[in-house]
């Protein structure tokens, strides 16, 4: 049965408006990154007066963009890997075992999602400084401290989602593996993990995006050598000039890998959410 | 929360089977009893180190007179009892008045932003439930704002909101002649709408994503039965789709609320360390109270009050929704 005209027209109008809303900033980012400085300093123009790739060359020398990029990659990459591995272990324990304190654990971990970041920013900063003074392990100002912080940000959501996902993997499968002589970890890695790949990919995407986009802790806990993109990009505004074309070019360079990765994996994300979080 | 409950039930059902599998070696049994705790240990240590211990320190700090003189060695800061709390909730004095104002702005902003994100996301997901040409492309496009790193997305909006060289004033003033003068968007009263626009632009795709996932769990037979009964497409949306989405929506709205209420990144990149009064969200306000005016004790007290508020709202919300009631029963 074909939908009525009222539905088709509402759909057309709504989706067209929404597409415009979504696309305008994307267009501004792309077009401005190809404009000469005069074009972005004067009145806004929809079409550039002349196309130039100059901003894409200059972004690397105006600020140490490459260093920030590497820092962000290391921090977000390491936080993602650690967060996923730890979440897999925790979710497996909660999904497959009955033990004392299970509810307390899940409720506590989930409720940390609710904490305003600002509440533990300063205490965490002081804690890292104290640990550094006491043990010599440099957490404050180092990439390690930031990795440690970020991986806990995505952990609650990851654990929660993977519990749901592991629950949907039939228990008979890994119990059969246990009977066949697999250890519990063997059953986890040979049966449960392969069956839950979409959920694990979804969780990894989420963890990477969380770490790649975080601003508050990055601005307090980094120094010149360990600064990430989130803080570093502010360097394009100088007292004399704001290099908007370079800012847009750098933003695009920074965004393309994340957006491309996300769009490639989005099918997994919907599948993961369906099985894990939405049930 | 429901997932936990079902997991527990499932474990209970399966335990007799596990016992019937026969005797195991003693070491094996000990390992199995300790194993869940061992598996949880890394998560537990990290949550303690990064969330729970700092939170406890934060609560202790809120009872201390913690200014820049004591920050090097915060343990020696003098106790001040409830002074920080009294200052925060004294709404007749400047500090308390500013906090109350910021709180009210945040509540209004959050309700509007969450409402719009939910509305746009749900409408888009429902309109895109059936296949049509270009649906895959559109779906990918709609996820772009969510996938963009916060600071690059917000910086682009900062550029668009510029007074002299921004797109927004160019369109509203130069092209459509809707305003007499080019407006200021990042200072003054307009900043509230600027922040709301950015927040909705960035946030609605998450609602879209979750509702899309939720739609896949609605059994097709429901729609077929409705079609047999002669229900039109609008009726099907109202009678089947929306009611079936209720459990998903309950979680979605709570998560959106907490994220928006605690959001720091968007206002911080949009306005910098000091937000305009009309868009002074509570996270940035507390950051400013702590790190710019160097009064960490008061900042901590404000954070604790914020946490208590969020706990109360979340608790109340969970009690009011069926999901929460189910979880509380177990």
Q: How confident is the model over B32-57, as a mean pLDDT? A: 89
- Cβ within 8 Å, pair B46-A4: no
Query: What is the average pLDDT score of chain B?
Result: 85
A13 near B CB under 8 A: no
| Mutation target among A25, A63, A244 for the B interface, most CBs of B within 10 A | A25
Chain A contact set for B265 (CB, 8 A): 213-216
A228 near B CB under 8 A: no
Q: How confident is the model over B106-113, as a mean pLDDT? A: 97
Question: What residues of chain A score a pLDDT lower than 50?
Answer: none
| Mutation target among B9, B10, B36, B128 for the A interface, most CBs of A within 10 A | B36
Cβ(A45)–Cβ(B166) below 8 Å: no
pLDDT of residue A141: 82
To the nearest whole Å, the CA of B53 is away from the closest chain A CA by 8
Q: How confident is the model over B149-166, as a mean pLDDT? A: 94
Residue A246: CB atoms within 10 A of its CB come to 28
- The CA distance from B286 to B230, in Å, is 56
Chain A contact set for B33 (CB, 8 A): 99
pLDDT of residue B142: 96
- Cβ within 8 Å, pair A274-B36: no
Residues for chain B: how many in total?
Answer: 330
Q: How confident is the model over B29-54, as a mean pLDDT? A: 85
- Cβ within 8 Å, pair A248-B156: yes
Task: Place B96 in a pLDDT band, splitting at 50, 70 and 90.
Answer: very high
pLDDT of residue B65: 85
- Cβ within 8 Å, pair B234-A122: no
B198 near A CB under 8 A: no
pLDDT of residue B24: 46
- Cβ within 8 Å, pair B165-A40: yes
Task: Place B323 in a pLDDT band, splitting at 50, 70 and 90.
Answer: low
Residue scoring higher pLDDT (B324 or B251) = B251
pLDDT of residue A94: 93
Query: Phi then psi for B207, rounded to 5 degrees?
Result: -60, -45
| The most confident of A76-80, A205-209, B71-75, B313-317, by mean pLDDT | A76-80
**Percent of chain B with pLDDT strictly greater than 90:** 54
Q: b or e along A74-110 (b: 16 or more beta carbons within 10 Å of the residue's beta carbon)? A: bbbebbbebbbebbbbbbbbbbbbebeebeebbebbe
To the nearest whole Å, the CA of A96 is away from the closest chain B CA by 7
- The CA distance from B186 to B163, in Å, is 9
- The CA distance from B84 to B23, in Å, is 61
- The CA distance from B106 to B261, in Å, is 7
pTM above threshold 0.80:
yes
To the nearest whole Å, the CA of B317 is away from the closest chain A CA by 13
A174 near B CB under 8 A: no
- The CA distance from B122 to B206, in Å, is 10
- Cβ within 8 Å, pair B39-A87: no
Which residue in the set A28, A42, A96 is minimally distant from B160, CB to CB?
A28
pLDDT of residue B320: 84
Cβ(B211)–Cβ(B125) below 8 Å: yes
To the nearest whole Å, the CA of B222 is away from the closest chain A CA by 15
Q: b or e along A121-155 (b: 16 or more beta carbons within 10 Å of the residue's beta carbon)? A: bbbbbbbbbbbbeeeeeebbbbbbbbbbbbbbbbb
Checking if the pLDDT of B312 tops 50, the result is yes
| Mutation target among A123, A162, A245 for the B interface, most CBs of B within 10 A | A123
Q: How confident is the model over B233-250, as a mean pLDDT? A: 90
pLDDT of residue A142: 86
Task: Place B274 in a pLDDT band, splitting at 50, 70 and 90.
Answer: confident
**Nearest-by-CA chain B residue for A244:** B159
Cβ(B25)–Cβ(A183) below 8 Å: no
CB pairs under 8 A between A and B: 299
**Nearest-by-CA chain A residue for B146:** A259
A164 near B CB under 8 A: yes
Chain A contact set for B144 (CB, 8 A): 22, 26, 259, 263
To the nearest whole Å, the CA of B209 is away from the closest chain A CA by 7
Coil, helix or strand at residue A224: coil
Distance of CA B90 to the CA centre of its chain: 28
Nearest to B273 by CA among B255, B261, B259, B291: B291
Query: Phi then psi for A138, rounded to 5 degrees?
Result: -80, 105
pLDDT of residue A239: 65
DSSP B251-315: HHHHHHHHHHHH--HHHHHHH-SS--GGG--HHHHHHIIIIIS-BHHHHHHHHHHHHHHHHHHHH
């Amino acid at each position: 049965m074909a939908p009525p005209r009222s539905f088709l027209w509402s759909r057309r109008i709504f989706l067209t408006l929404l597409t415009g809303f979504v696309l305008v900033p994307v267009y501004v980012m792309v077009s401005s990154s190809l404009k000469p400085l005069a074009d972005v300093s004067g009145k806004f123009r929809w079409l550039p007066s002349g196309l130039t790739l100059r901003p894409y060359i200059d972004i690397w020398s105006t600020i140490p963009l490459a260093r920030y990029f590497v820092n962000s990659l290391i921090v977000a990459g390491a936080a993602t890997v650690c967060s996923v591995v730890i979440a897999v272990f925790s979710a497996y324990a909660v999904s497959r075992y009955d033990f004392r304190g299970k509810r307390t654990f899940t409720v506590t971990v989930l409720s940390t999602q609710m904490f305003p970041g600002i509440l533990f920013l300063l205490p965490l900063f002081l804690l890292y400084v104290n640990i550094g003074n006491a043990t010599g392990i440099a957490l404050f100002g180092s990439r390690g401290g930031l990795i440690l912080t970020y991986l806990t940000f995505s952990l609650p959501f990851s654990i929660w989602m993977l519990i749901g996902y592991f629950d949907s993997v039939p228990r008979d499968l890994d119990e059969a593996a246990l009977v066949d002589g697999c250890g519990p970890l063997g059953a986890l890695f040979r049966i449960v993990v392969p069956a839950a790949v979409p959920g694990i990919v979804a969780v990894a995407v989420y963890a990477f995006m969380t770490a790649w986009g975080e601003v508050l802790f990055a601005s307090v806990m980094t120094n010149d050598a360990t600064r990430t993109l989130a803080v570093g990009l502010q360097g394009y505004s100088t007292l004399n000039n704001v290099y908007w074309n370079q800012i847009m070019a750098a933003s695009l360079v920074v965004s393309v890998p994340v957006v491309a990765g996300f769009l490639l994996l989005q099918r997994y994300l919907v599948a993961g959410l369906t099985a894990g979080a939405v049930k | 929360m429901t997932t936990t409950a079902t997991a527990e039930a499932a474990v209970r059902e399966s335990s007799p089977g596990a016992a019937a599998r026969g005797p195991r070696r003693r070491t094996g049994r000990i390992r199995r009893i300790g194993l869940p705790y061992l598996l949880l240990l890394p998560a537990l240590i990290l949550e303690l180190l990064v969330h729970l211990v700092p939170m406890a320190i934060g609560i202790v700090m809120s009872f201390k007179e913690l200014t820049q003189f004591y920050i090097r060695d915060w343990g020696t800061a003098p106790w001040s009892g409830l002074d920080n709390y009294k200052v925060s909730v004294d709404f007749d004095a400047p500090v308390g008045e500013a906090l109350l104002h910021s709180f009210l702005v945040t509540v209004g902003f959050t309700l509007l932003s969450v409402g719009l994100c939910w509305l746009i996301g749900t409408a888009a997901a429902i309109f895109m439930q059936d296949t049509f040409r270009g649906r895959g492309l559109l779906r990918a496009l709609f996820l772009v704002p969510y996938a963009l790193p916060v600071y690059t997305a917000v910086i682009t909006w900062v550029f668009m909101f510029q007074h002299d060289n921004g797109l927004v004033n160019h369109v509203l003033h130069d092209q459509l002649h809707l305003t007499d003068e080019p407006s200021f968007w990042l200072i003054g009263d307009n900043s509230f709408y600027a922040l709301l626009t950015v927040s909705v632009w960035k946030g609605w795709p998450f609602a879209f994503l979750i509702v899309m996932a939720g739609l896949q769990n609605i059994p097709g037979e429901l729609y077929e039965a409705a079609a047999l009964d002669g229900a039109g497409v609008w009726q099907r949306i109202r009678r089947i789709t929306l009611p079936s989405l209720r459990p998903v929506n309950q979680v979605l709205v709570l998560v959106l609320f907490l994220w928006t209420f605690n959001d720091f990144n968007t206002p911080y990149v949009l306005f910098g360390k000091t937000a305009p009064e009309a868009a002074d969200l509570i996270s940035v306000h507390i950051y400013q109270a702590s790190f710019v005016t160097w009064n960490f004790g008061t900042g901590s007290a404000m954070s604790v009050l914020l946490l208590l508020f969020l706990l109360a709202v979340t608790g109340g919300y969970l009690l009011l929704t069926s999901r929460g009631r189910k979880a509380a029963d177990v």
